[in-house]
Every structure is written in structure tokens, then in C-alpha cells.
Amino acid sequence: MRTCIVVGSGIAGIASSIRLSRQGYSVTVYEANAYPGGKLSEFQQGAYRFDAGPSLFTMPMFVDELFELCGENPRDHFNYIKLDEGCHYFYEDGTRFNCPTNTNEFANILNSKFGEDKASVLRFLNKSAKMYEITKPVFLENSLHKLSTYLNLKGIRGIMNLWRLNMFSTMYSVNSKTFKNPKTIQFFNRFATYNGSNPYKAPATLNIIPHLEFGYGTYFPEKGMVDITNSLISLAERQGVKFEYNQKVEEILLKENKVCGVRVNGVDTYSDLVISNMDISPTYKYLLPKVETPLRVKNVESSSSALIFYWGISREFPELDLHNIFFSENYEQEFSKIFNEKSVGADPTIYVNISSKYKKDDAPEACENWFVMVNVPANEGQDWDIIIDETRRNIIAKLSRLLGIDFKNVIANESILDPRSIESKTSSFRGALYGSSSNHMMSAFFRHANFSSSIEGLYFCGGSVHPGGGIPLCLLSAKIVSGLISE
């Protein structure tokens, strides 16, 4: 039986192991941590449970697909609910609105709250859906780095329609021409943060992202986000995949430009294929020390990172829901701070996720678990202790102002995740959440391919390579890798 080793048990590594097992490979996954999932993990903080990383769940069919591939009913192992509302939004002047996932209801709200023309809103969302359908066969479902992607009907149709994607305009410029209210523009600009980018620089192609929420909907796994990891680990084990925890891969072994295995704790283990789910930059730096790192990996701009406060809250807030956004007053300045000054402004946009709204045992009775995140630059040696202290004060002041409460008095316990700890826990280069940013019209082409062009049998999956970061794209990267291998 042919063998495959997967380096890392992030969501893309797990999905790759399942797909390769179904192709008849004997698969072993080596994970440096004591737990699987990478960023998609959990921890307990006193009486409060937290999902450590990703909190937005869209396109669940990509998870279901893995169960179906193995001949199993997804609902026997993994369940989720569809949300009627995507997020609650709060602006500095006191404006609030709850965002329904139904497009007609959403257009009505933007009309009544911000004076936007309902037909214009619906046209924008319809174009978002069409842009997604154009990009899907070329940019998302296949390798950008294989000629076969372009030499078929879907690929040719996608290439012929690239002009519709607004690649040469920024997200902000298109949104500011489409909508008249600054609050609406800010709302749609926020979708650039879904892959760690700057809407004032990123191409308007990223306006496909709203379609993921409005077209496919948003969901919540009944057992929390970590159940995506847990259910897929169990599925992989049922397929015969072997997981080795606390086993850090030290090097990918090569022989005459061909993969032959890995070295773990000084012991060489041989394999026909190796798939690295590790961030692409440390993969080259640490696991392939004799291989020249490609320039597109060396010179790429990192995506944003995150500063996260996990707060056990001693009371409930009925005006909040699972997803909540407290916008900054000056959005352009906020992104300039992050990407130009490599710092954090005094008024960051705050994202608050409260899983106990749907999973009641995540917090004690009449309490809530708050995952409080602000976008920050990747780690380039900033004094994070000072940044954390200042940002914490600014967050508490903003939440106190907008919620009408002295917020520091309701924080029962706390832990913190910053770019340094993100990097140390997940091997994400500089703690960037999505690998490279998409702040250039050619960013999709700059991402590393899902295979090595110079080393036979070496493949790459996860958020730092094609097609990008976030749970759906990581699952698609695993699908692309398995397709390349099957060829």
C-alpha cells in the first residue's frame, strides 16, 4: 500500500488525510501539539468554554462532503443550525442594526436605516453571486498553477469573464460608488477582513465574499466550532488514518528531488508522499532547509493577525447575539495603522463572538463567554505588551460607551492571544491569520501552489497556500491536493 504523511492536523490537514485514505493510501498525520485542529480548537477557562479560533461557519456542505465521500450520513456525526441573522452591528453615533441573512429583509433594512436604494442593494448581492460563480472553477476549485485548469469549458468561461470581477478597482472604490451612506460602505468594506486584507487596497473581486453569507447562509455547529475538528478527526480515524500528537516534524526528507519521508524526533519515517499543512514560510525555512524559498513566499505581504481577549462575563447582554461588530469611527485610518504603520489605532473595530448564546453550557447561568477580537498587524517585532495594554483599555472604553455600562466590572476572568502566541501555537508565519494578504489585484496568483514544481511527491494545503484562508478555502485546498495526487 502506498503511504502518505501529513504534517499538521489543521482542518486542511485532516481533510487531506480523509481524502487520501479514500484513495487507498495509508496515512499518518504528525501534529506538534497535544491536540488537533490548529486554530480550530477549544479550551476551558474556569467555568467558561471557548472556541480558540475561527468563529464564523459558512458553506457547511464542504464538511458534509467529507462524510458523504466516506459513505456516511453527516447528520449522524455532525450537526449545525442555520442562523436567521448574521451579525449585530453597532456604530459610534449609536446607530444599530441586526443583519438578516435573507436578502430582501437585508435590503429593506439598508433602505430604512441608511436610505439605500433597495434595488441597488439587491443588484450588488446578485453581482456578488455571479462573481462567485465566475471565480469558483478557476480560483477556488482547481489549481491556478496547472494548465488543465484553463483548458476546459468552465475554465475558459471563467477566463473570458474575468473582466467582470473588478480586479483593477479597489473594494472601497467600487463600494463607495455603489452606495451613498458611509455606514453602508463601511459594512461592505468589512468583508475584506475575512481574509485579512485592506479594503482600501484589496481588489473589488473580494466583493464575492458577501455571497458566502447571503447566498449560502451562516451556521452554528451545535457542539461549537471545535466540533468541526472533532467530528472530522473521528471520521479520519474510522478511515484508518493514524494521528501522532506531540510529534514535531523536523525535516521533510528528500532524495534526488523526490520526497522520501520525514524526520520526527530524530527518527526517519519513509513515505511515498508528504503533504504539509504547516504555513508555507516555515515549511521552507525549517522543514526544507536545503531548498531555496521561492521569492513569492519571501516577498509577500502578510495578512493581518488578531489580538483576542477571551473574557468570562458575569452577566448577560440581550441586545447581543452570536456575532457582533462595534465599528471604528474612521475605518480608513484603522487599516492604515495596521498595514502602513504596523500598529493598532486607538479606535479599533471590535468583533465579539458569544457562543453561549446558542450553546448554553459554554458559560455559567446568567453569564456569557466573550471572544473579543480586533484586527492587528502581523508580528514584526512590535512591543506587543504595550499594544495589548493600550488596546485593552480602548476596547473596554468603547464597549462601556456603546453598551452604557462600566464594562471592566463584568469581566470575571481573562486570557489573551496575540500574534506572538498565534505563531508559537500554530506555526503561522508572524502570526498572520491567512498567510498572505489580498492587497493586490494579482494576490490570488502570488499564493503558493498546492504542489512543489521541483520536488516530486510534495504537496501543500491550508490557509497560507492556494486558494486561501478560512475554513471553506482550507477544505477546498485539501480537495485540490487530493485531485492533483489522483491525477
Q: Which alpha helices (DSSP H) does 6-57 contain, by range?
A: 11-22
Instruction: Give the amino acid at 158.
Output: G
The SS3 of residue 97 is strand
Q: What is the pLDDT along the chain (487 residues), one digit of tens a residue?
A: 999 999 999 999 999 999 999 999 999 999 999 999 999 999 999 999 999 999 999 999 999 999 999 999 999 999 999 999 999 999 999 999 999 999 999 999 999 999 999 999 999 999 999 988 888 877 777 766 565 654 566 655 655 555 566 778 999 999 999 999 999 999 999 999 998 999 999 999 899 999 999 999 999 999 999 999 999 999 999 999 999 999 999 999 999 999 999 999 999 999 999 999 999 999 999 999 999 988 778 878 899 999 999 999 999 999 999 999 999 999 999 999 999 999 999 999 999 999 999 999 999 999 999 999 999 999 999 999 999 999 999 999 999 999 999 999 999 999 999 999 999 999 999 999 998 887 776 555 568 889 998 999 999 999 999 898 999 999 999 999 999 999 8
What pLDDT is stored for residue 300 in this prediction?
81
Euclidean distance between CA atoms 305 and 183, whole angstroms = 24
> Which of 421, 313, 312, 325 is closest to 41 using CA atoms?
421
Determine the Cα–Cα distance for residues 329 and 186; give it in Å rounded to an integer: 10
- Interatomic CA distance for residues 485 and 23, integer angstroms: 9
Q: Report the C-alpha gap between 41 and 35 in whole angstroms.
A: 8
Burial of 310 (0-12, 13-18, 19+ CB in 10 A): buried
Domain boundaries, the chain: 3-40+58-72+223-300+440-486, 107-216
Distance CA 357, CA 371 (A): 12
| CATH of the domain spanning 3-40+58-72+223-300+440-486 | 3.50.50.60
Query: What is the pLDDT, as a whole number, of residue 14?
Result: 98
**Residue 66 to residue 355: CA distance in whole angstroms:** 25
- Three-class SS of 322-367: CEEEECCCCHHHHHHHHHCCCCCCCCCCEEEECHHHCCHHHCCCCC
pTM of this structure: 0.94
